[in-house]
Amino acid sequence: MAERETRDAQAGLSHRAALVAVVVAFCVGVIGSLALRPAATPAAGATDTKAIRAVRWKLPVAFGTQLPALGDNALYLAERVEATSNGSLVLEVFEPGAVVPPFSIVEAVKEGKISAGYTWLGYDLGTLPASVLFGAVPFGMEPWEFTAWWFYGGGRQLGEEVYGELDIHPIYCGVIGPESAGWFREEIATLDDIRGLKIRFAGLGGMVMQALGASVTMLPGGEIFQALEKGAIDATEFSMPAIDERLGFDRVVSYNYFPGWHQPFTAFHLVVNRDDYAALAPSQQAALETSCTAAVVNSLAKGEAIQGGVLEGFEEKGVHTRSLPIEVLRELERTTEEIIAEQRAMDAAFARVHDSQRAFAERYKRWKRLGFLPRDF
């Protein structure tokens, strides 16, 4: 069985590596196209009509910058923005909670307390239901598919429409691949093993777990280890193995489950106060937009590159990597469909964004099926 798990893991890594190469090439092309858009840069022969003044913004982030791909992508972004703006725009990165609470970044930008922040939009689910669709969708798109939808399937326009009502300009600024399905003290063989668990879970996936009988709570990444260690929670999901290991989950619980059904992609955005964005010179706006697209490539590539080595080391630590039974995944998918249907019925913007994603996925699936090698080849 161990040999089979190894072969499956190697095949999965090979498949993902090939797809990462595709998306990197795609996103590099997008960077080039963004740089040529009239909205981002003046037309040939034109001049930047806004005087370029030096701007320095505080940039609170939702994730600690010690976390690879997830958190340190904000540092990469800040470096790229300063370089591409020739120093006229500087983003000063602040760790979670140093300026505003990590779950309150969007609210602070909306109220003008800060000009910008780097976050996961799914944290706005309670006040803005459609927001979570820009962050992660259970059994939804893979990272390159979401990226294609955002840039060429109407996603960007919908994001700007939804967040425009909050006077916020959202910029797609990072993405990582599937998270693990979570960390548990005991094996998960059936849904009965989920019922009654006290678990940290986010977004629509958290709503699914709640519907299946788990007691769901939300905690920032920096608080999860202590909650697990003290027994305040029985289990958690957070991110990819290399990130979860950095937070120490492998030291307190030993079962790490896959696949990340609840977040096949996890996207991050730079949220900018719309008035502050409009006050920037066009070249500074271009620096933000282009640097964020570069950060999408950086986070995806780094996230995919570092998982294999971490998984290899889990066995020596006594961590058991397991796949959720197919029957459990089917029930999770069925419950997901029910939750999404409820959200669609309650919120018109959620339905509009979900319609767009569903239509794009329907068009894409034929290419997805024919164009790539099957996972079990």
CATH code for the domain in which residue 248 is found: 3.40.190.10
pLDDT for res 374: 84
With respect to residue 41, please indicate whether it lies within any of the assigned structural domains. Answer: no
CATH code for the domain in which residue 150 is found: 3.40.190.170
Within 10 angstroms of residue 54's Cβ, the number of other Cβ atoms is 10
Q: Assess whether 122 and 146 both reside in one domain.
A: yes
Q: Could you tell me which residues are beta bridge partners of residue 134?
A: none
pLDDT for res 5: 41
Q: Assess whether 155 and 300 both reside in one domain.
A: yes
Q: Which of 250, 280, 305 is the last residue of a domain?
A: 305
Q: Assess whether 276 and 317 both reside in one domain.
A: no
With respect to residue 371, please indicate whether it lies within any of the assigned structural domains. Answer: no
Contacts of 36 (CB under 8 A, 6+ apart): none
Q: Assess whether 95 and 144 both reside in one domain.
A: yes
Print the domain residue range for 317: 182-262+306-346
With respect to residue 103, please indicate whether it lies within any of the assigned structural domains. Answer: yes
Q: Assess whether 161 and 202 both reside in one domain.
A: no
**Can you list the pairs that 212-217 forms with residues at least 24 positions away whose Cβ atoms lie under 8 Å?**
212/331, 212/332, 212/335
Q: Burial letters for 1-18: b for 16+ Cβ neighbours within 10 Å, e otherwise?
A: eeeeeeeebeeeeebbee
Q: Which of 272, 305, 338 is the last residue of a domain?
A: 305
With respect to residue 272, please indicate whether it lies within any of the assigned structural domains. Answer: yes
The three-class DSSP label of residue 116 is strand
Q: Burial letters for 206-235: b for 16+ Cβ neighbours within 10 Å, e otherwise?
A: bbbbbebebebeebbbbbbbebbeeeebbb
Q: Using CA atoms, how far apart are residues 24 and 28, in angstroms rounded to an integer?
A: 6
Using CA atoms, how far residue 25 sits from 32, 178, 303, in Å, is: 11, 20, 16
With respect to residue 49, please indicate whether it lies within any of the assigned structural domains. Answer: no
Q: Assess whether 201 and 288 both reside in one domain.
A: no
Q: Assess whether 116 and 21 both reside in one domain.
A: yes
Q: Using CA atoms, how far apart are residues 188 and 258, in angstroms rounded to an integer?
A: 11
The whole-angstrom distance between residue 207's C-alpha and the CA centroid of its chain comes to 17
Q: Assess whether 217 and 276 both reside in one domain.
A: no
Sign of the torsion angle spanned by Cα atoms 250, 252, 253, 259: negative
> Can you list the residues of the chain whose pLDDT is less than 70?
1-50, 376-377
Q: Assess whether 253 and 143 both reside in one domain.
A: no
Using CA atoms, how far residue 161 sits from 142, 172, 199, 232, 313, in Å, is: 23, 14, 34, 39, 45
Q: Assess whether 147 and 242 both reside in one domain.
A: no
pLDDT for res 12: 42
pLDDT for res 32: 41
With respect to residue 375, please indicate whether it lies within any of the assigned structural domains. Answer: no
pLDDT for res 30: 42
Q: Assess whether 240 and 118 both reside in one domain.
A: no
Query: What tens digit of pLDDT does each residue of 208-255 get?
Result: 999 999 999 999 999 999 999 999 999 999 999 999 999 999 999 999
pLDDT for res 377: 67
With respect to residue 72, please indicate whether it lies within any of the assigned structural domains. Answer: yes
Owner of token pair 């957070």:
238
With respect to residue 91, please indicate whether it lies within any of the assigned structural domains. Answer: yes
- Token pair listed for 257: 């489950």
Q: Assess whether 141 and 268 both reside in one domain.
A: yes
Question: How many structural domains compose the chain?
Answer: 2
